[in-house]
């Protein structure tokens, strides 16, 4: 999520530099028209980026149309959106009788400002980021911060079997808190299932913890998951203690836990398949 925030900041800075350059180099309304077209190009590029999920993941969109609201086409969709935005900008500026030199200069200045800003903002944020504790579990404090050992618990699954978190040590784990009434949770579940289906279950596991105390009818949870052909384990937090323990105030909330039982990332909000793959791959074995 952070990389998209950094990219957004970089794009804003890029437009600031483009505006300043156009004010100095273009006379009359020409600079304003070019800047407005650049904004329009960004808008169309953004729509294509969002809609590209349908192109790259049609199955997931068909299963959960709300995916288009919460997710994008990822990096592939971003490149497609950028290409379409560039083509749109070129042809629309040509209609204004803008020379190729000015068009190329505008694109280069904007792109250069965005890339430099992205690098600098990313560098600043990474320098401020606390270091993650990579020590063994014997010396790690139990808690919810990155680098803490995940608090242990036991919950019953939909199959009425007890599942203990510490028994899964040795696997990379996604601990996901959700509810059937939660729209982003509904959008996220097909992505989780698609991710889970492609993973080696001896190395990676998902525990989807239903906040059962928030459900109108807890008996509908099993039917809800069966309708979506979910195969990853679903646990029932029938007392609400584990959701409170893990501070699952906003859902979905997910914790990425490494094979030593150490929390490496907390994500508040829905995740797509690409994000899950990236975060799991970034965790050491």
* Domain residue ranges of the chain, discontinuous segments joined by +: 2-128, 137-282
Mean pLDDT score of the chain: 89
Q: Tell me what pLDDT residue 285 has.
A: 64
Q: Tell me what pLDDT residue 117 has.
A: 92
Give one word for 172, left, alpha or beta, with left for phi > 0 and alpha for psi -120 to 50. Answer: beta
- Distances in Å between the Cα of 222 and the Cα atoms of 92, 148, 179, 212, 233 are 53, 32, 12, 11, 11
CB count, 10 Å around CB of 89?
22
The whole-number average pLDDT for the span 66-83 is 89
Confidence band (pLDDT; 50, 70, 90) for 137?
A: very low
3-state helix, strand, coil in the chain (%, to 5): 55, 15, 30
Confidence band (pLDDT; 50, 70, 90) for 283?
A: confident
CATH of domain 137-282: 3.40.30.10
Q: Tell me what pLDDT residue 127 has.
A: 65
User: Which among 218, 223, 228, 237 has a CA at the least distance from the CA of 157?
Assistant: 237
- Statement: residue 116 has pLDDT above 70: yes
User: Which among 169, 183, 227, 173 has a CA at the least distance from the CA of 66?
Assistant: 183
- Statement: residue 129 has pLDDT above 60: no
The whole-number average pLDDT for the span 72-93 is 91
Give strand pairing partners of 202. Answer: none
Q: Tell me what pLDDT residue 123 has.
A: 83
CA distance 182 to 221: 12
Q: What is the pTM of this model?
A: 0.78
Contacts of 225 (CB under 8 A, 6+ apart): 158, 189, 234
Q: Are 231 and 255 in contact (CB under 8 A)?
A: no
Two tokens at 110?
């904007």
- Statement: residue 185 has pLDDT above 60: yes
């Amino acid at each position: 999520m952070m990389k998209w925030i950094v990219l957004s900041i970089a794009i804003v800075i890029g437009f600031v530099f483009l505006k300043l350059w156009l004010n100095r180099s273009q006379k009359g309304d020409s600079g304003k028209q070019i800047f407005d077209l650049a904004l329009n190009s960004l808008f169309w590029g953004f729509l294509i980026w969002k809609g590209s999920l349908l192109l790259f993941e049609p199955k997931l969109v068909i299963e959960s149309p709300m995916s288009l609201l919460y997710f994008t086409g990822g990096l592939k969709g971003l490149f497609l959106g950028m290409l379409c935005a560039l083509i749109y900008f070129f042809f629309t500026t040509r209609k204004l009788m803008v020379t190729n030199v000015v068009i190329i200069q505008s694109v280069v200045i904007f792109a250069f400002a965005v890339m430099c800003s992205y690098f600098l903002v990313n560098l600043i944020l990474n320098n401020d980021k606390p270091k993650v504790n990579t020590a063994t579990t014997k010396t790690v404090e139990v808690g919810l911060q990155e680098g803490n050992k995940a608090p242990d618990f036991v919950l019953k699954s939909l199959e009425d079997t007890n599942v203990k978190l510490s028994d899964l040590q040795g696997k990379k784990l996604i601990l996901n808190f959700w509810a059937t009434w939660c729209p982003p949770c509904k959008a996220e579940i097909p992505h989780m299932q698609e991710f889970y289906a492609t993973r080696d279950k001896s190395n990676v596991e998902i525990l989807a913890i239903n906040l059962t105390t928030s459900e109108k009818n807890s008996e509908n949870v099993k039917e809800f998951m069966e309708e979506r052909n979910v195969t990853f384990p679903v646990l029932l937090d029938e007392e609400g203690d584990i959701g409170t323990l893990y501070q699952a105030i906003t859902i979905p909330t997910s914790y990425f836990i490494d094979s030593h039982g150490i929390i490496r990332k907390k994500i508040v909000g829905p995740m797509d398949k690409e994000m899950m793959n990236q975060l799991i791959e970034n965790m050491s074995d």
